[in-house]
Amino acid sequence: MGLAERSNLQFGAFVQNYVENTTGNPNFTSPQPPLADVSAGLAAFNTKVNEVLALESQLRTSVAQRDSLRANLEVLMNASAAYVQQASNGNKAIIQSSGLGVRNPRTNVHVLGTPGNLRLTLTSNPGQPATVSVTVTGQTLHFHFGIPRGLTGEQGPPGEVTEQELADGLETRAFAIPSVGTLDQSAEPEYSPTQAQDIINTLNALITALKGS
């Protein structure tokens, strides 16, 4: 019958169809359980379904109203914060006396230096996507690259460069990237668009250097 796959409304209609088609049907003179029990259960079920539908509609309306009220309240609090900032003249103790929090001002990041200890490792199996991740140890930012190994193919015709020249070129590109600077900065305690952009810029410069373009 696929009862579990039917929605509540579909299930109620399915049961109603059974009751209607079985009532007075000469092929089923004594339905078990009795049709009266099934009909009573259906009536109670439909009543509760309608109650839930009404509550869900009311909840959706309440959620929309809540979100609108929160947005309005956030506007008021942002305006209040601006007033406190101006009235306190930036004094930390005075700002805290209002019940609002205080955070340190953002500082500009100096020119990035050359990265050191950059390593690329063939760690992934052939066919798997390459990965890039960043970790912070103390005040040092580490880039981790997972490069998939290639499949072993047939020996091809000689190329324009020797294998040694190719190996030397790849080693130079992978391990000597003097044009890309390090991120000599510590992680901000809160989200910083400036710091995030610095990371993006450094990754882009690093990828460009690795491509050799």
Contact 42, 16 (CB under 8 A): yes
Both 48 and 126 in one domain: the answer is: no
- 26-60 residues labelled b (16+ CB within 10 A) or e (exposed): eeeeeeeeebeebeeebeeebeeeeeeeeeeeeee
Question: Residue 169's domain spans which residues?
Answer: 120-149+163-211
What are residue 147's phi and psi, to 5 degrees? -105, 120
With beta carbons less than 8 A apart as the criterion, state whether 113 and 182 touch: yes
In a domain, 81, yes or no: no
Q: Which of 45, 75, 105 is the last residue of a domain?
A: 75
- Structurally, how many domains does the chain consist of? 2
Residue 188 lies in a domain: yes
105 domain-assigned: no
Q: Name the helix (H) or strand (E) containing 87.
A: helix 35-88
| pLDDT tens by residue, the chain, 213 residues | 888 899 999 999 999 999 999 999 999 999 999 999 999 999 999 999 999 999 999 999 999 999 999 999 999 999 999 999 899 998 889 988 998 888 777 776 666 556 555 555 556 677 777 777 777 777 676 777 777 777 777 777 766 777 777 676 666 655 545 666 677 777 777 788 888 888 888 888 777 776 665
